[in-house]
Amino acid sequence: MLDSASNHPELPPEIARRRTFAIISHPDAGKTTLTEKFLLYGGAIQMAGQVRAKGEARRTRSDFMQMEKDRGISVSASAMSFDFSGFRFNLVDTPGHSDFSEDTYRTLTAVDAAVMVIDGAKGVESQTQKLFEVCRLRDLPILTFCNKMDRESRDTFEIIDEIQQNLAIDVTPASWPIGVGREFIGCYDMLRDRLELMDRADRNKVAESIEINGLDDPKLAEHVPEHLLEQLLEEVEMARELLPALDPQSVLEGHMTPIWFGSAINSFGVKELMDGIGAYGPEPQPQSAQPRQVAPEEKKVAGFVFKVQANMDPKHRDRVAFVRMASGHFKRGMKLTHVRTKKPMAISNPVLFLASDRELAEEAWAGDIIGIPNHGQLRIGDTLTEGEEIRVTGIPSFAPELLQGVRAGDPMKAKHLEKALMQFAEEGAAKVFKPSIGSGFIVGVVGQLQFEVLASRIEIEYGLPVRFEASQFTSARWVSGERAAVDKFTNANKQHIAHDHDGDVVYLTRLQWDIDRVVRDYPDLKLTATKEMMV
């Protein structure tokens, strides 16, 4: 076992053994492959290749993501649970494209740590950097996996230096690669003084560990060719001199990232990374909420919705709300209070996502992610408790930066379009505004690609070809204030008024000047670029 740091010694063991994390990476760095290997070691799948195969199968079923295949991006997120070495890992998948940052931000509110995967030949790429910044906002601990070491890669010091420079975080090597490209034979485990050798012949084979007694051990020479050994000794000595030693507390605080080198496709380095997540990835953390924080060890159950996914199974038109358990020990069938509506909800069919299949969750502990099928009652940001009025905070809502009009190809299908759009609005996939004057809808998103995804989903899930077109508006502001003041304002500005999917009033315009004017002329009103998720 590795020495770990616990910032919460009083946690019940079932909670303390949970590790809830996400993988952040630039497309193509190896996130899917690494996930596959996690599941392989976690015993969730028998054979590598199934995640991809099943993922493809699911996609062709709901097939909204033809684009995902075409463009090689991952836009649908899910959660997976598996056991490894006494730990329960909950891996929350993050969408991989920058246009989906809304979803990504929210996903990252549900995890306690992130694994950053980089390609050894490419280093820190744009998307990694962006996602890293999001993690930093939350001070999430980050563990780094430098992948594809079986290919020509950059010099190890250069990679580490680039991470330190670009991301402003201390990097400590948890392992050190031996040889590069074709000559790469494995790693020296800096934390356990072991030699891990890669098996190139069998990609699914767990690497062989060779215990050695420090770098002077003559056993090293039996396994490492002379020229590589010389280089290894020199580099490790330099690394120990120049780079900071592992400080588990600093990792927990998000100031230091340990880096493992490996090759996901060759199953190499993955086990060490998983051991590392167990040892240095934090146990479930307290959740910020109003009027008080929720601690994971509290007896009573609390959880919050961080994602809603509709039409996971097109046959059922269901929605699944992904809930991060924040405290307590949940059991299937429990009645929880839906704090926003103050209504009780019997949670009778919660699902756990084991590998890519859903399974009924009989129980869940703080840190777990469960899916709750529902007909739309559960929305992003909602809290479920055993009665206490707690509302989670920190789940961001984003200002729509791009607005477009949308029409059904067949005007007779306007009602269907409305239904589809409302559903996506509730999922948090877009903001949908219905102008007071005229027909049609205006959709607001953060990134251009979201329009294409929406068009594709509406066509596939609702059989409705749609057209997005330029809108006369470019900005949206939510309007709040006393009822009479809002009414007066909407009556005087009808051509600019719309309602969102909750029926809240929104002011649409293309000029900042208009917004300034409203602020000046209607001092009783508040105009905001985002709407808090919580009601």
Q: Considering beta carbons, is residue 96 or 367 the nearer one to ligand G4P?
A: 96
130 binds ligand G4P (CB under 6 A): no
32 binds ligand G4P (CB under 6 A): yes
Closest alpha carbon to 77 in 53, 109, 100, 44: 100
Among residues 148, 324, 434, 457, the one that binds ligand G4P under rule CB under 6 A = 148
Q: Considering beta carbons, is residue 55 or 350 the nearer one to ligand G4P?
A: 55
Instruction: Please identify, among the stretches 148-156, 285-293, 450-458, 511-519, the one whose residues bind ligand G4P according to the rule CB under 6 A.
Output: 148-156
Q: Dihedrals φ, ψ of 199, to 5°?
A: -100, 105
User: Residue written as tokens 């969730």?
Assistant: 44
Name the CA dihedral angle for 119, 124, 130, 133, rounded to a multiple of 10 degrees: 120
Q: Interaction with ligand G4P in 247-286: which residues (CB under 6 A)?
A: 263-266
Among residues 5, 8, 14, 28, the one that binds ligand G4P under rule CB under 6 A = 28
97 binds ligand G4P (CB under 6 A): no
Give the C-alpha separation, 98 to 111, whole Å. Answer: 19
Annotated binding site for GTP: 25-32, 93-97, 147-150
> What count of Cα atoms within 13 Å lies in the side-chain half-sphere of residue 39?
27
Among residues 147, 250, 285, 337, the one that binds ligand G4P under rule CB under 6 A = 147
Q: Read off the tokens for 17.
A: 């053994």
Q: Considering beta carbons, is residue 150 or 235 the nearer one to ligand G4P?
A: 150
Secondary structure of 286-305 in HEC code, one letter for each residue = CECEECCCECCCCCCCEEEE
Residues 6 or more apart whose CB falls under 8 angstroms from that of 411 comprise: none
Q: Considering beta carbons, is residue 31 or 106 the nearer one to ligand G4P?
A: 31
Give the C-alpha separation, 25 to 305, whole Å. Answer: 24
- Min dist CB 79 to ligand G4P, Å, is 16
78 binds ligand G4P (CB under 6 A): no
Rounded CA Rg of the chain: 25
Among residues 150, 170, 196, 235, the one that binds ligand G4P under rule CB under 6 A = 150
33 binds ligand G4P (CB under 6 A): yes
Instruction: Please identify, among the stretches 147-155, 217-225, 427-435, 443-451, the one whose residues bind ligand G4P according to the rule CB under 6 A.
Output: 147-155
Among residues 58, 122, 130, 151, the one that binds ligand G4P under rule CB under 6 A = 151
Closest alpha carbon to 275 in 163, 196, 164: 196
31 binds ligand G4P (CB under 6 A): yes
30 binds ligand G4P (CB under 6 A): yes
Among residues 18, 22, 25, 423, the one that binds ligand G4P under rule CB under 6 A = 25
Check the CA dihedral 249-254-255-261 and report its sign: positive
Contact predicate 22/93, CB 8 Å? yes
DSSP 53-118: HHHHHHHHHH-TTHHHHHHT------EEEEEETTEEEEEE----SGGGHHHHHHHHTT-SEEEEEE
- Min dist CB 36 to ligand G4P, Å, is 8
27 binds ligand G4P (CB under 6 A): yes
Q: Considering beta carbons, is residue 21 or 489 the nearer one to ligand G4P?
A: 21
**Can you give the binding site for ligand G4P, defined by CB under 6 A?**
25, 27-33, 147-148, 150-151, 263-266
